[in-house]
Structure 1
Amino acid sequence: MSTYRAARSLRACWRAAWFSLVTAPSLVLFLLFMLLTFNNSVTGTFLDAARDLVVDAPPGKIWGCAPPLSTPVETVMPQGNGIAAAPPVRCERAAVDAIAWQKNVDRLIRNLYVTVAFAGAFFWWFLGSKPGVPEAAEWAGRKVKSLRKTLQEKE
Structure 2
Amino acid sequence: MSEIRQALQVAALKNGTVIDHIPTNKLFTVVSLLGLEQMDSKITIGYNLNSNKLGKKGIIKIADKFFDDEEVNRISVVAPHVKLNIIRNYEVVEKKEVNMPDELKGIVKCANPKCITNNEPMPTLFKMVNKENGVFKCHYCEKELKKEDIVLLQRRTL
The TM-score normalised by the length of structure 1 is: 0.21
Higher helix share: 1
Larger RCO (CA within 8 A; separation ≥ 6): 1
Higher strand share: 2
Greater gyration radius: 1
